[in-house]
Structure 1
Amino acid sequence: MTRQIVSTDRAPQAIGTYSQAVRAGNTVYLSGQIPLDPDSMNLVEGDIDAQIRRVFDNLLAVAEAAGGSFGDVVKLNVFLTDLGHFARVNTIMAEYFQAPYPARAAIGVAALPRGAGVEMDAVLVLAA
Structure 2
Amino acid sequence: MLIRTFALLAAGAALGLQAGCASHAPAVMHLNSGKVLPTGLPFSEAVRVGNTVYLSGQLGNVPGPGPIKLAPGGMAGEAKQVMDNIQTALQAHGLSMADVVKCTVMLADMSEWGAFNDVYKTYFSGNFPARSAFGSNGLAFNARVEVECIAAWRK
Please report the TM-score for the alignment, with normalisation by the length of structure 2. 0.77
Deviations 1:26-61 (A, max 9, x none): 000000011111114311222110000110011111
- The answer for the alignment partner of 2:69 in structure 1 is 42
Write 1 or 2 for the structure with the bigger share of helix.
2
* Alignment counterpart, residue 56 of structure 1, candidates 72, 80, 83: 83
Equivalent-residue separation in structure 1 for 2:135 and 2:142 (angstroms): 14
Deviation at 1:15, TM superposition (A): 7.1
Deviation at 1:17, TM superposition (A): 1.5
Go from structure 1 to structure 2 and tell me whether the alpha carbon gap of 1:15 and 1:46 turns closer, same or farther (over 3 Å shift). Answer: farther
Deviation at 1:123, TM superposition (A): 0.1
Asked if 1 retains the 8 angstrom alpha-carbon contact of 2:75 and 2:116, the reply is no
For residue 54 of structure 1, give the secondary structure of its aligned residue in structure 2: helix
Deviation at 1:64, TM superposition (A): 0.9
What one-letter code is carried by the residue in structure 2 that aligns with 1:52?
Answer: A
Q: What is the total number of aligned residue pairs between the two structures? A: 128
Go from structure 1 to structure 2 and tell me whether the alpha carbon gap of 1:87 and 1:74 turns closer, same or farther (over 3 Å shift). Answer: same
Q: CA RMSD in A?
A: 1.4
What one-letter code is carried by the residue in structure 1 that aligns with 2:46?
Answer: A
- The answer for the alignment partner of 1:121 in structure 2 is 148
Deviations 1:64-120 (A, max 9, x none): 112111101000000001111111121111211112100000010111001101000
Say which one has the larger Rg. 2
Asked if 2 retains the 8 angstrom alpha-carbon contact of 1:9 and 1:38, the reply is no
For residue 87 of structure 2, give the secondary structure of its aligned residue in structure 1: helix
Equivalent-residue separation in structure 1 for 2:41 and 2:76 (angstroms): 26
Return the structure number with greater relative CO, CA threshold 8 A, min gap 6: 1
Deviation at 1:7, TM superposition (A): 2.2
Structure 2 gap segments, 5+ residues each: 1-25
Structure 1 gap segments, 5+ residues each: none
Equivalent-residue separation in structure 1 for 2:50 and 2:63 (angstroms): 27
Write 1 or 2 for the structure with the bigger share of strand.
1
Go from structure 1 to structure 2 and tell me whether the alpha carbon gap of 1:76 and 1:5 turns closer, same or farther (over 3 Å shift). Answer: same
